[in-house]
Amino acid sequence: MALDDSHPDFVSALARGISVLLAFTSNTPEMTLSEVAAKTGLTAATVRRSLLTLMALGYVKQNGRRFVLTARVLQLGAAFVESMNLNQVAQIYLQDIVDVFHDASSLTVLDGNDVVYVVHIPSNRPARLRQHVGARMPAHGASTGYVLLGHLPDEELEAYLSGAPFPAFTDKTPVTRDEVRALCMAARENGYAIAEDAIGLGTIAIAVPIRDQQGRVVAAINCSADSTKVTRDKLIETRLEPLQRAAQHISEQLIRYPALTVSVLG
């Protein structure tokens, strides 16, 4: 039961409506109908009907000739958070990490070439990288990315690596196939991964895998510190064991709330 957009069962109107919604970003929070059309590549007529429908459903609001999202859109993301019982599964354990180390802490899964923040507890120190649930980050710059990629079957990892070179965000971002493969292999070997100044200067993060009952990796959790203040060795010495303990707790919760496992592996 899989299809592409040429299949007669594919509901183009649904796909187009979603692409209209996703056209609104931090750079384009308010757009006219023709701006949405230009951004999505859809016809003005299609965009008009999508916007009118999203307005009727309360997801979009009109301000003169421009359109803007409403807070009801948050309900869509919340459908995932709630159906995965993420508050019960993970939030409490990541909060413990943040309380002790004043790091930011996240639970992420792989989606294509990105890691997606599924839970994020911000740091209570002035943070360099502020994230939010649903934010994405290229996997080759993320500690959780190395963990998640490293636990993929070999052929899937190689398929991913075939996309090299990867974009550089700093001069420490690994960009070649061999660099990224080495980091993923180390994650597989060691059971943890570190990313230092890879996505932005000043951040060092350590990640460990979350496993289901069968030992399959379904997610990764991490915490991130200030790389000018915490060394790699210090990070491992202080954070690895607490992170592994949190991962163990989360794994245990996955027995009671298996939806995340099914979502990732099912």
Site for a second copy in 91-150 (CB under 8 A): 91-92, 95, 98-99, 109, 111-112, 116-118, 121-122, 124, 130, 132-136
- The distance of closest approach from Cβ of residue 101 to a second copy in the complex, given in angstroms and rounded to an integer, is 12
| Sole window of 49-57, 160-168, 171-179, 187-195 interacting with a second copy (rule: CB under 8 A) | 49-57
Pick one of 32, 34, 43, 79: the residue that binds a second copy (CB under 8 A): 79
Pick one of 38, 39, 74, 164: the residue that binds a second copy (CB under 8 A): 74
- The size of the interface with a second copy (CB under 8 A), counted in residues, is 85
Tell whether residue 78 is a contact of a second copy (CB under 8 A). Answer: yes
Tell whether residue 34 is a contact of a second copy (CB under 8 A). Answer: no
Calculate ∠ Cα 235-238-244, nearest 5°.
Answer: 95
| Residue type, position 220, single letter | A
Tell me how far CA of residue 182 lies from CA of 85, 178, 201, in angstroms.
34, 6, 21
By CB atoms closer than 10 A (0-12, 13-18, 19+), residue 90 is buried
CA 116 – CA 220 distance, rounded (Å)? 10
Pick one of 41, 44, 68, 241: the residue that binds a second copy (CB under 8 A): 68
> For residues 1 and 233, which CB has a smaller minimum distance to a second copy in the complex?
1
Tell whether residue 49 is a contact of a second copy (CB under 8 A). Answer: yes
- The distance of closest approach from Cβ of residue 215 to a second copy in the complex, given in angstroms and rounded to an integer, is 18
CB 146 within 8 A of CB 207: yes
By CB atoms closer than 10 A (0-12, 13-18, 19+), residue 60 is buried
> For residues 81 and 161, which CB has a smaller minimum distance to a second copy in the complex?
81
**DSSP per residue over 137-153, as a string?**
EEGGG-HHHHHHHHTS-
